């Protein structure tokens, strides 16, 4: 029964990265060119303010700085770096660099959460890198150091945010918790937007449609589902669900941009799906605690 519930929660949580898999096509086809900060702020701040206004509860005590840290990692820095990578790299290269995220989560979860590193998880990490490479990386793909470092930074930010979110445990409902982080992340980026980019002279109807999609589906719905999953899905399981993004991105490229799907890409997708399922079926285990350390923890 518990295993079935975990699989159901994983399936629901997977809806978020599936939606986020459309970020690349929306960014390149609908948003103003070379405006990563504008895209990040518009995606985060309006949705966050709506959820905070509806919830009408502000953080208290330590949750002021915790919300700021989580908002910066999960939203502000992640959004900015994600959009920078989308502008500087083909989606496939960005996805391949981002595939290091589960490895970072695996290590951080062991150090911060006490999760034991298990062999199936290590094998799944290796398989995922191979799967992403086969799925999205082409021989003609170009490398851009700015984009590579941005994609790597985005992966580290999201991995750190996943682990810290599970470590601290949300003190309020999932919608309000999502609102805190979206608002914090948007406010962190707002002064940087005016300092480095400024506002465009015009916003077209196409641009507005793209921004609306990212706000409503990408942020309001996507992050609410994602942060619900942080309570119910192990950290390593969450990180692997993120691989739904490159799968969806590839399918959308095939459906709307006239891109082809080779046998190697289909094999890569199958490997990724297998890695995702393997991790969901192999729950994380806590490392054994030494008796002296356990006594200190319970008496402190």
- Give strand pairing partners of 116: 285
Burial of 142 (0-12, 13-18, 19+ CB in 10 A): exposed
**How far apart, in whole angstroms, are the C-alpha atoms of residue 184 and residue 190?**
10
**How far apart, in whole angstroms, are the C-alpha atoms of residue 278 and residue 168?**
27
Q: Within a 13 Å sphere around the CA of 190, how many CA atoms are in the beta-carbon half?
A: 10
Closest CA to 211 of 31, 20, 74: 31
Asked if 31 and 212 touch (Cβ cutoff 8 Å), the reply is no
Residue-wise pLDDT for 126-167, tens only, equals 998 898 888 777 655 566 788 888 889 999 999 999 999 999
Q: What is the mean pLDDT of residues 256-272?
A: 83
* Residue 167 counted as domain residue: yes
Buried b (16+ CB within 10 A) or exposed e, 184-196: bbbbbbbeebeee
Closest CA to 246 of 46, 79, 91: 91
Total domain count for the chain? 1
* Residue 203 counted as domain residue: yes
Structural domain for 268, as ranges: 2-283
Quick one: pLDDT band at residue 2, thresholds 50, 70, 90?
Answer: low
Residue-wise pLDDT for 56-112, tens only, equals 999 999 999 999 999 999 999 988 887 788 777 776 677 777 778 888 999 999 999
* Residue 19 counted as domain residue: yes
* Residue 290 counted as domain residue: no
- Reply yes or no on whether the pLDDT at 299 is more than 90: no
Beta strand pairing call for 115-116 and 285-286: antiparallel
* Residue 292 counted as domain residue: no
- Reply yes or no on whether the pLDDT at 262 is more than 90: no
State the pLDDT at residue 292: 44
- Reply yes or no on whether the pLDDT at 295 is more than 70: no
Q: What is the mean pLDDT of residues 188-198?
A: 91
pTM, two decimal places: 0.84
Q: What is the mean pLDDT of residues 34-52?
A: 91
Weakest mean pLDDT among 150-154, 174-178, 291-295: 291-295
């Amino acid at each position: 029964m518990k295993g079935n519930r975990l699989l159901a929660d994983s399936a629901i949580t997977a809806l978020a990265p599936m939606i986020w898999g459309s970020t690349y096509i929306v960014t390149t086809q609908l948003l103003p060119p070379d405006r990563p900060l504008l895209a990040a702020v518009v995606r985060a701040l309006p949705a966050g303010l709506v959820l905070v206004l509806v919830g009408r509860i502000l953080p208290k005590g330590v949750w002021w700085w915790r919300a700021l840290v989580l908002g910066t990692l999960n939203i502000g820095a992640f959004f900015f770096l994600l959009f920078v990578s989308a502008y500087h790299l083909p989606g496939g290269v960005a996805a391949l660099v981002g595939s290091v995220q589960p490895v970072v989560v695996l290590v951080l979860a062991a150090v911060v959460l006490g999760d034991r590193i298990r062999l199936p998880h290590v094998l799944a990490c290796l398989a995922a890198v191979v799967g992403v490479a086969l799925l999205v990386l082409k021989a003609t793909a170009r490398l851009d150091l700015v984009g590579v470092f941005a994609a790597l930074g985005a992966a580290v930010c999201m991995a750190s945010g996943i682990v810290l979110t599970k470590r601290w445990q949300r003190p309020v409902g999932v919608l309000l918790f999502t609102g805190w982080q979206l608002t914090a992340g948007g406010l962190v980026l707002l002064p940087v937007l005016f300092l480095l980019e400024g506002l465009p002279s015009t916003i077209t109807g196409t641009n507005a449609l793209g921004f609306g999609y990212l706000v409503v589906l990408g942020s309001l719905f996507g992050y609410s589902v994602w942060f619900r999953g942080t309570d119910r899905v192990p950290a390593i399981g969450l990180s692997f669900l993120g691989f739904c993004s490159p799968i969806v991105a590839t399918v959308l490229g095939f459906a709307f941009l006239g891109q082809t799907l080779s046998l190697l890409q289909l094999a890569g997708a199958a490997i990724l799906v297998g890695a995702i399922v393997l991790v969901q079926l192999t729950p994380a285990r806590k490392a054994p605690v030494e008796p002296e350390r356990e006594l200190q923890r319970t008496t402190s």
